[in-house]
Chain A
Amino acid sequence: MIRNLRIIALVLLWVLAATRPAHAYIGPGAGFAVAGSMFVLLTTFVLAFGTILIFPLRLLWRLIVTGNPFKHAKVKRVVILGLDGMDPGIATRFMQEGKLPNFQKLADKGVFRPLQTSTPSMSPVAWSSFTTGVDPSRHNIYDFLTRDPCNYAPMLSSTDIRSAKKVLNIGKYVIPLGKPSIKLLQKSQAFWKLLGDKHIGSTIQRVPITFPPVKFNGLLLSGMCVPDLLGTQGTFSFFSTKQSEEGHAAFTGGEQTVLRRRGNTIRSRILGPANGMLKGAPPMTIPFTVKIAADKRSASFSFDDLDDTFTLKVGEYSEWIDLAFSAGLGQKVHGIARFCITEIDPDFNLYMTPIHIDPENPAMPISHPTVYSIYLAKKLGRFATLGLAEDTWALNERVIDEEVFYKQAMLIADERIAMFKDALQRTKKGLVTCVFDTTDRVQHMFYRYLDPTHPANAGKDTERWSTAIEQVYQRMDAMVGDLLPELDREDTTFVIMSDHGFTNFRRGVNLNAWLKENGYLFLTDDVETSGDWFESVDWSRTKAFSLGLTGMFINRKGREAKGIVAEGAEYRQVRDEICAKLKELVDPTTGEKCILDVFPATEHFEGPYRFDAPDLIIGYDGGYRNSWDCATGSVPKEVFSDNTKSWSGDHCVDPRIVPGVFFCNRPITTETPHILDMAPSTLKQFGVDIPDYMQGQPIFTDPGQGGPVSGPLDPTTLSQSGSAPGALVHKDGQASAAAPASTTDASATPPAGGAVTSPAEPAS
C-alpha cells in the first residue's frame, strides 16, 4: 500500500515537474480528473498487468504441484439450482397441467425424482447436509434455534456473534479494541472447500447456513441466517398514524412507531442498531420527513443527513435506500431498506423492510472474499442480504397484505436471478450453486389458498392470490427455460433440487402443554401457564421440554444446567415413554393421530454431535406442526390450536412426507436420491476423491451414457400424507381439483388423506 502511494506520488511529481510552470496552471478541477483517472490507470496497471504477468507463473506452479485440476473431471461444470421448498407433488401437478414446460423438458430428457431429505426436514438442517454430505449428528445443525444448556435460553444454532472482548472507555465513548467474534457453528466442511483445495473453483450464492463465510478457493455469498443490521433475523418497522389504546402496537418480528401528522407533513425517525461506541448503547437513528402529495396518491421522503430523496405511490416499493447510521468519531454503519406506503389517507401507514446489511458497505462479512458482495452490488445494484429476506412476519402480523408481500418476494427473486446469471457467465468451469428462497416463502404464506377450509382463511381473501404458488413455480420455470440452452450440455451437469417439499399447516401442537398435562413438565406453583422461553418452568421437576420447530429435549443430568434425568436406564425409560405416548397423540377436533413417528436421536443418529441433538425429533403428520408458542418455549393451557396465521404451509413434519425435488439433465443411478448424495456426487463429477466420512453415494451417470433411472416422476411414488391439497395428483397423470371440500368455513374438518401413500422407509 505504502509502495503504491509512493509510486503515485512520484508519478504526480513527475507530471508536474516535467511540464513548464505555465502548463501546471490546471488547478483542482482538472486535478480531480487527472488524479482520479491516474489512480484508476495505476490501479488497473498494478492489478491487470500484475495478474497477466503472474498468470503463466501461477499456471506453471499449479501444473507442477497439482497438475491439471480437471484431468479426472467428467464435466467442465456442475450447476446446482436450489429452489428451497419446491414440492414434488405440487410440481407434478403443475407439470401435468402443462404449466411448467421447461421442468417437464428437463424431466423428459434427464430425470425427475423426489429427493429424500434430512431429519428434521427444515432448511438449515437439510442445506447443511447438502453442504457437508453428512447428517445433523455430524454437522450439528438440528433447527434454527437450540437452547443454551447453561440456562435454557434460546440461541441461534448456526452462528455465534460476540462483541469485542476488550474496550477502551473515553468519556462517553466505548472504543472496541479488536473485532467482534462471528463464528459459524456448523461442523464438518463444505464440499466446495474440498473442490477448492484441488483448484476447482466454485461460485456459491445464498446457500443457507453459510454465515459467516468460511475461506475457500472460490466465491461465496452467504444465505439464510445472515442477520439484519439490528442483529436479528429480520425486524420490520411499521410507521402509522393509527394508535392503539395503549398508544402503540407491537408485532412479532417488527416494531410500530406511532406517527403524528401535521397537515401533509410527518416527521419521524428510523431506529437503527445499538451504538456500541457509546455508553449505554443507545440506538442510532436517522430522522426523516414525509410530505404527502395534495392528491393523496403519493408522498415524498427525505432523510436528514442522507442524499436519498424519493417519491412513492401507495403500494409501490422504493428502491433500496442507503441508510448510513452515524456512530460518531466518523464511523458509519451502512444498511439498506425498502419502503412501501400501505395506506395514505385518512391514516398514513408506512412499512419499512428489516434493515439489511448493505452489500456495498457490509457491516459484517457476508461474502467470501468480502469484495464479492461489493462486486455484485456495484454491478447489479443493491440486493437483499438478510438470511430470511422475504418478510413473512410482516404478512403474518398483517402489517402488509399479500400483494405487498408478493411484490417483495418477486423483487428479491429478480435480484437473485440476475446474480445467478452473473455467476453462470463468470464460472465457465467448476461449481455454481445458487439457492432461491422465493419458492419456500411463497408456499409458507400462500398455502392456505390451496385449502379452502384452512383456519387461516377466516377474515382473509381466499381468491385473489390463489395462483400465487403457481405463479412462482412458473417464474422459476421461465428462468430454467432461459438457462436450459446454456446448461443442458454434455459438459455440464445441471441439477435443480429442493431441500424439502411442502404440506399443510392447519393445526399447531404445543408439546410443552402436552408434557405438562402428562407430568413431564412443571411450572412454578402459583402459575398455570408460562410465557416464552420457559419463563415459569420449574426445572427442578421438569423431565422434558420442547423448543424450536421439531425438537424435544430431555432434561438430562450432566448436559442441562438443572438436569434431573439420569443417563442410562432412567433416560431411556423417560424417552421411550414419551415417544410411545406421542405416537398415540390424537387431535380431539379431528379424532386423528397427529404424529406419524418420533425419532430418538440416540437411535437415529450415529455422529459425534448426537449428544447435542434434541433427544426426540417429532415427525408430524401433514397438517400439523409445533405451534408458534411451542417453538418459543411457552406453555399454554391448550395442547392443540388452529393456525390462523398467513404462514399456512410448512414442512417441519415427518421428513418422509415432504421430500424435495431432484431434476437433472442426465440419468442417475438410484430411484431414491438423497440430499446427502449431492456432495459426493459433485466431487465425483470433478474426479475428486470422496472423503470416507460422507454418508451419501455418487448418483450421476457419466456424460453420454444412459442410466437405470431417468425420465419423469411416476406420481404413484409420491409419498404425500395428511391434508396436502396442493399436491394432490391423479395417479393416472391427471391433476385433481385442489379443493376437496366445498365449504370455506375455517373450522371445517380438514380434507383427510387425499393422495396418501405409505411413507417411504425412514431417511437414513
Chain B
Amino acid sequence: MIPLLTLFAAVNDFFSAVFGVLLAPFGEELDWSAWVDVTLWSVAGGIVALIVYKYVSNQKGIEKTKNQIKVHLLEIRLFKEDILSVFAATGKILVKNALYIGHNLLPVAVMLGPMLAIMIQLVALYAWEPSETGSEQLLKVALDAEHPAVASGEIRPTDVELLLPDGVRQLSPPVRTAHGQIVWKLQADTAGEHVLRLVAGGITVEKRWAVGPDAPTRVPVMRTKTWESLLYPGEDPMPADAPLLSASVAYSSRDLGWMPGGELGILMMFFALSLGAGIALKGVFKVTL
C-alpha cells in the first residue's frame, strides 16, 4: 500500500506539473497582474464546474424541486391572509430545500477533486509573497506527539536544533511551548531559497525559506505530516519518520491589487468569481443550478 504522504506528494507533483504547463502562457510572461490570473482561473473553474454539474446532477429533479420551492414562496406571497397556509408553505420550503441540497451532493462529490486542485494551486501560486531581503520572519516547528520518541519523552522541544545556512541569522533564542512548539525569529541577509535544517533525534529535516524577488513561483509555506500537506504543494510533505509534525514560515500575503490577498482572500475570490461565472453562464450552457 502506498503511504498516504507519498500519495499526497505525487498528487501535488502531478497538479503542479499540469499547472506549470497551463500557466506557461500567463503570468510574468505577459507581465500582467496576478489578480488577472486569479480571475481567469476562477472563471474557468466556474465553467468547468458548470459543465460537470450539468452532466452529473439530476437536472430534472433539481428543476422540479426549485419549481416547488418557488411555488411555496409564491404561496406565502399570495396567501398571506391565511396564516396556516403560510406555516405550511414554510415547512414545505424547508423540506424541499433539504431535497435540493440532496440533489447537489453527487455533483459536489464529483467536483471536489478537480476544484480542490485548482484552488490549492491558486493559493500556492498567488497567496503569499516571498520574504524581503533583510526582513524578519518566524519559523514555527511542531513536534509530532504521536512519534514514539516524542511520546516517550526521548525527544523534547529543547532537543530540536536549527542549522542555518549562510545569509540567515537567528535574531533571538527560540521560544518553546509546553505543547511542543518551537518558534525561531530569523532574518535573511541575502536573497535566495535558503534551506533551513532541523535536527531532532538524529534525523535531519529540511525546510526551505524563499527570500527575495527570484524566489520560486510556489512559495514553500509549510511541510507537514497531516492531510494539509495537500494544500501546500510548494514543498514535499514532512518525512513520515521525522519526529516533527510540521515546519512553517509565516510569509506575508501577496499584493493582488484590488483583490483581497492571502489564503482566505484567494479562496473567497475563487468562490465568488467561480460562482458568479457559473450563475452568469448557466443560460449559455443550459444548466439548471
Contact = CB atoms under 8 A, between A and B. Distances in A.
Interface of A: 13, 16-17, 21-22, 24-33, 35-37, 40-41, 43-44, 47-48, 51-52, 55, 201, 219, 307, 369, 371-372, 374-375, 378-379, 426, 428
Contacts of B73: 40, 43-44, 47
Given A36-B289, A40-B69, A44-B90, A24 B268 contact: yes
A382 B67 CA distance: 12
Contact of B74 (A17, A24, A27, A374): A374
Interface in B71-104: 71, 73-83, 85-87, 89-90, 93-94, 97, 100-101, 104
B281 to A, nearest CB: 11
Nearest to B227: A22
Q: Is the interface of A mostly helix, strand, loop or mixed?
A: helix
Interface in B213-244: 228, 231
Contacts of A374: 74
Leading 6 A-B pairs by shortest Cβ distance: A27-B115, A33-B104, A29-B111, A28-B274, A375-B74, A48-B90
Given A27-B111, A28-B50, A47-B76, 17 more contacts: A22-B231, A25-B115, A25-B231, A27-B112, A27-B271, A28-B46, A28-B111, A29-B107, A33-B105, A40-B93, A41-B94, A48-B93, A51-B86, A55-B83, A307-B286, A371-B77, A375-B71
Question: In which size bucket is the chain B interface?
Answer: 35 or more
Contacts of A47: 73, 76-77
Nearest to A24: B267
13 contacts: A24-B268, A25-B267, A28-B45, A28-B115, A29-B110, A30-B108, A35-B279, A36-B104, A48-B76, A48-B89, A51-B76, A378-B67, A426-B78
Contact of A27 (B49, B71, B80, B81): B49
B266 to A, nearest CB: 9
B187 to A, nearest CB: 27
Contacts of B46: 28
A305 to B, nearest CB: 10
Interface of B: 45-46, 49-50, 52-53, 66-67, 69-71, 73-83, 85-87, 89-90, 93-94, 97, 100-101, 104-105, 107-108, 110-112, 115-116, 118-120, 228, 231, 263-264, 267-268, 270-271, 274-275, 277-279, 286, 289
B91 to A, nearest CB: 9
Contacts of B115: 25-29
B267 A28 contact: no
A24 B289 CA distance: 20
Contacts of A426: 78-79, 82, 85
B67 A428 contact: no
Query: Which among A35, A36, A372 has the greatest number of chain B C-beta atoms within 10 A?
Result: A36
B104 A32 contact: yes
Nearest to B94: A44
A43 B89 CA distance: 13
Contacts of A48: 76, 86-87, 89-90, 93
Contact of B100 (A17, A21, A33): A33
Query: Which among A27, A36, A55, A374 has the greatest number of chain B C-beta atoms within 10 A?
Result: A27
Given A27-B119, A44-B94, A372 B78 contact: yes
B273 to A, nearest CB: 9
Contacts of B278: 28, 31-32
Contact of A25 (B78, B83, B85, B116): B116
Contacts of A29: 49, 52-53, 104, 107-108, 110-112, 115
Contacts of B120: 25
Contacts of A371: 74, 77-78
Nearest to A219: B78
A37 B100 contact: yes
Contacts of B275: 28, 31-32, 35
A48 B108 CA distance: 29
